[in-house]
Amino acid sequence: SQQGEEDPQALSIQEGENATMNCSYKTSINNLQWYRQNSGRGLVHLILIRSNEREKHSGRLRVTLDTSKKSSSLLITASRAADTASYFCATTGSWGKLQFGAGTQVVVTP
Amino acid sequence: DVKVTQSSRYLVKRTGEKVFLECVQDMDHENMFWYRQDPGLGLRLIYFSYDVKMKEKGDIPEGYSVSREKKERFSLILESASTNQTSMYLCASSSPPRSSYNEQFFGPGTRLTVL
């Protein structure tokens, strides 16, 4: 079963614009992670935000977490063509298991 | 540089064949995971292992088995491949969940086609 669900399913933007995607989840969490997947490749970890944190930054990435609404958002600022990828949120369960959403496919055109 | 490797990037098998997918990690991680990824469904956990010779079912274990004889290696076995097992298979590893940071490291994936 999917714990996280991303919105939108697909996003198309121009280089230099910001990209925002959202993730909603169903049960209480210890932390929430975001991953990126380039076409046909494995996933790469981007950022982890703990349940007691509200916002976190890493380079051009900004993640927010609202535990009262059970939602998170990922913002990519000043997007580049190389940001074209699918982005997944994942919540952590027992034994470090991750529950992934279906992902947001982002296309950044030059 | 940390690494998770998978034995094949692309694999084509016939219905009924026994299929082995191998995954090796060099990070001395206790936890290892097998996922399958299908369009619109995200990643779904098939099996995971938190120690050598230990295994636990994930969300969709039917039709699969696993083997973890050594810490660094986690194998996924399709006893009798079927066409509905055509998918991308991803292996991952992580440090124990009692650490506060349990990022998973993924291999490049194996795209399996069952004819």
- pLDDT tens figures, A13-42: 999 999 999 999 988 888 899 999 998 888
Give the chain A residue whose CA is nearest to the CA of B46.
Answer: A97
pLDDT for the residue A1: 44
Residue A40 and residue B42: Cβ atoms within 8 Å?
A: no
Residue A96 and residue B101: Cβ atoms within 8 Å?
A: no
Chain A residues near residue B56 by CB distance under 8 angstroms = 95
- pLDDT tens figures, B63-87: 999 999 999 999 999 999 999 999 9
Of B59, B100, B106, the CB nearest to A43: B106
Does the N-terminal peptide bond of residue A8 adopt cis geometry, omega within 30 degrees of 0? yes
Question: How far does CA B12 lie from the centroid of its chain?
Answer: 17
- How far apart are the C-alpha atoms of A78 and B98, rounded to whole Å? 36
pLDDT for the residue A29: 85
Do you know the residue count of chain B? 115
- pLDDT tens figures, B90-112: 999 998 765 556 789 999 999 99
Give the chain A residue whose CA is nearest to the CA of B58.
Answer: A97
- pLDDT tens figures, B35-50: 999 988 889 999 999 8
Chain B residues near residue A89 by CB distance under 8 angstroms = none
DSSP tag of A17 = S
Give the chain B residue whose CA is nearest to the CA of A94.
Answer: B97
